[in-house]
C-alpha cells in the first residue's frame, strides 16, 4: 500500500497538497527507498515528522545519509533534512497532528492540547526541517 501511495503522492494528482514522496538511500542496501509522507508547514518552514519514532527505517536512513534526500511532488527536489532539537519540536508536532489524521493513532496526544503537553513527548518523535541542500546541517541537542 505504501508503494502505491508513494507513486500517487509523487505525482501530485488527486492527493492532498501536503503529501509527497520521500526518497532516501537505504543505509544497508544502498537502494533508493521511497515512502509517502506528510509535509508540515509552520512559520514559513517545511518539516517532516517521524510518527513511528526514532527507530523508523526512514529516520535511520536519513541520518545515515547525512540528511540528504529527495522530495517528490510533481517533480524532484533535492533536499537536506536538518534534525530539529527536542526543545523546538512541540509546535511542529501539534501542527503535524492537525494536518495528518493518519498519524493520530501513533501519537498519544490530542491535537488541540497545549504546547506544554507536546513538549513532554517531543523526545519520542524526530522532526526534520527541510533545508536547502547547500546549507550547513544543524545537529539536534
Region 16-32: mean pLDDT is 89
Q: Work out the percent of the chain whose per-residue pLDDT is above 90.
A: 67
Kindly state the cell numbers that stand for 110. 490530542
Kindly state the cell numbers that stand for 28. 544497508
Region 79-85: mean pLDDT is 96
Contacts for 18 with CB less than 8 Å, ≥ 6 apart: 38, 39, 40, 41, 99, 100
DSSP tag of 7: H
Contacts for 30 with CB less than 8 Å, ≥ 6 apart: none
- What is the per-residue pLDDT across 98-113, written as a single tens digit (0 to 9) for each? 999 889 999 989 999 9
- What is the per-residue pLDDT across 38-49, written as a single tens digit (0 to 9) for each? 999 999 999 999
Amino acid at each position: 500500500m505504501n508503494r502505491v501511495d508513494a507513486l500517487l503522492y509523487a505525482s501530485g494528482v488527486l492527493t492532498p497538497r501536503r503529501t509527497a514522496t520521500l526518497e532516501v538511500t537505504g543505509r544497508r542496501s544502498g537502494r533508493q527507498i521511497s515512502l509517502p509522507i506528510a509535509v508540515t508547514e509552520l512559520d514559513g518552514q517545511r518539516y517532516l515528522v517521524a510518527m513511528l519514532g526514532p527507530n523508523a527505517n526512514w529516520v535511520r536512513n536519513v541520518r545515515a545519509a547525512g540528511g540528504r534526500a529527495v522530495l517528490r511532488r510533481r517533480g524532484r527536489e533535492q533536499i537536506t533534512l536538518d534534525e530539529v532539537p527536542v526543545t523546538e519540536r512541540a509546535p511542529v508536532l501539534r501542527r503535524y497532528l492537525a494536518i495528518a489524521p493518519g498519524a493520530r493513532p501513533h501519537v498519544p496526544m490530542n491535537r488541540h492540547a497545549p504546547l506544554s503537553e507536546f513538549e513532554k513527548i517531543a523526545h519520542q518523535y524526530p522532526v526534520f526541517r527541510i533545508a536547502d541542500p547547500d546549507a550547513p546541517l544543524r545537529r539536534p541537542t
